[in-house]
Amino acid sequence: DHFDFILSFQKTVEKQKVHTITIEDFRAIYRTLVHRPEFQELFRAYAPNNKILANLELMEFLRKEQHETDACEMIALEIILKYEPVEEVKKRRQLSFEGFIRYMSSEDCSILKRAHKTIYQDMNHPLCDYFISSSHNTYLISDQLIGPSHIDGYISALVKGCRCLEIDCWDGSNNEPVVYHGHTLTSKITFKSVIKAIDEYAFSASDYPVVLSLENHCSPKQQEVMAESLCEILGEKLLSSTISDEVVTQLPSPEALKFKILIKNKKIGTLEEGMFRTEDESRGETGEISDFEDMSDEDETDDKAPLYTSRDSTKRKSELRGSAPPRKKAKVKKIKIALMLSDLVIYTKSSKFVSFEHSLANQKCYENNSIGEARARKFVKHAAQEFVSHTLRFITRIYPKGTRTSSSNYNPQEFWNVGCQMVALNFQTPGIPMELQNGKFLDNGGCGYILKPEFLRNRNSLFTPHNVGTYGKQLSLSIRLISAHQLPPANLSKTSKTDPLVQIEIYGVPQDQTKKKSSVVKSNALSPRWDEVFTFSLQVPELALIRFCVKDDSCLVANEFIGQYTLPVLSMSKG
């Protein structure tokens, strides 16, 4: 009906050959588009004369429809003062239909809980108790082989609240370290320019600490240049010593590390040894780490596939990367680390992952591991209990396998399910994985740190995603899908006709994973109406995300994507 009205109006204007419209015409269009029937039905249910909602009637609406339990009178008054456009009505503490529509279309009626748009969680737990928004190969803004490296990759990630950035460092000319994806044709940017961008944007979206994960391939000489650049450019923001004189027995909290930038890299010796060294003592000095014990996890040959296919080049490539060719035991090779850079690593020492058993016996609380997605997926499947026990104690970073040369992403949910803190994704690549990432980190004010559920923090926990026991607080979720409004056409749509449907998906522990589809509304993108109810029974809502995806059924090949919105189930407002 709306669409027909606008078409007939358009024809009238064309027939009259006038290029202006009267205020009455404009009002008619406005009412057609904005005074939607579903709003009118709701308003009439509470407004006795269909014209005005008095204060008491608005309070009843808030209680019954919006599930507001306390301070309804105060909320009703706030709504009237904020949204009622007619002054006389506002003075009488009433709400007109126009004011009601403005309220219903506002941020106050967003599905995301108002309280969750601010930082509401306890930020005083150790760092390992949080999910941390993390990016992989942050310098790339396209694919992993020939695309450009750009500081915009860092700026874009930081503006989105990302708190762990990756920097691949290599020796450059004129003793100037560069950042790019090694042994590929991706372009190079200077390490200094990256640090300057990080200095400027680190805390634009969040006050909480930023971790720079260095994938370090530089010579000791250029590692010293890196250390000097970090100190000079970041100044006070750089965490270069422990925050207290006590022996470190647990990681500090995000609150204690506000406005600090941490360096994640290999480190020579213990934290305490580094603390007693002065800069003069460490300048020009190097230490060695044996590659077999502590080579970068980015070099694991079963996860980081070669970028060339011939056998010789595979061998050459893997030797260049400091690891043995596939299916051969890695050689013990010494890696030199400049002490000046090593001493800047405080609470985030990169440590080679050997096994869960080895970590439990030997790993310090300030040591963390990186595990490739393929290996991590095997652990989720065959050793979930040990994996959860590991992430209770140590920060664990997951990264995409090297065969993802197009910068595609894996599903992060399976690794959040076992408590992995840094589930690193290619931020430049749109799709479901990044939609889940963006949806999850809407929570807690978008600050990039989300407190893990208690059962992923408590050392006595026996929780696994496949055997949830009584750990989750079971939830019955009912969603009434009412309508959509002014949907854009799908990208592949050959006609202006759109046949919209909505798919509601739950991502969480395997038991909770599900999707349900609405019916299709034929040829109506302007105001499709469904009025359908969907119910979900969730075992572990604490880990669940809900994704609303609108698709076009008119496309011949497959239902074409129109748009989506994802958020944590427990961040949904009722009403």
Give the residue numbers marked as catalytic. Answer: 136, 181
What is the separation, in whole angstroms, between the first and last Cα of the chain? 27
Kindly give, in sequence order, each residue whose CB lies less than 8 Å from that of residue 573, ignoring residues fewer than 6 positions away. Answer: 66, 110, 111, 112, 113, 114
Taking the CB of residue 108, how many other CB atoms lie within 10 A of it? 16
d(CA 510, CA 528): 32
DSSP class of residue 146 equals: S
Q: Which of 121, 60, 54 is nearest to 92 (CA)?
A: 54
d(CA 147, CA 168): 15
Contact 155, 201 (CB under 8 A): yes
d(CA 127, CA 410): 24
Burial class for 330, CB neighbours closer than 10 Å (0-12, 13-18, 19+): middle
d(CA 271, CA 269): 7
> Reading across the β-sheet that carries 396-399, which strands appear in turn?
349-350, 367-372, 396-399, 422-423
Q: Which of 66, 171, 136 is nearest to 572 (CA)?
A: 66
Place of tokens 């026991």: 469
Sign of torsion over alpha carbons 307, 310, 311, 313: negative
Pairing of strands 349-350, 367-372: parallel
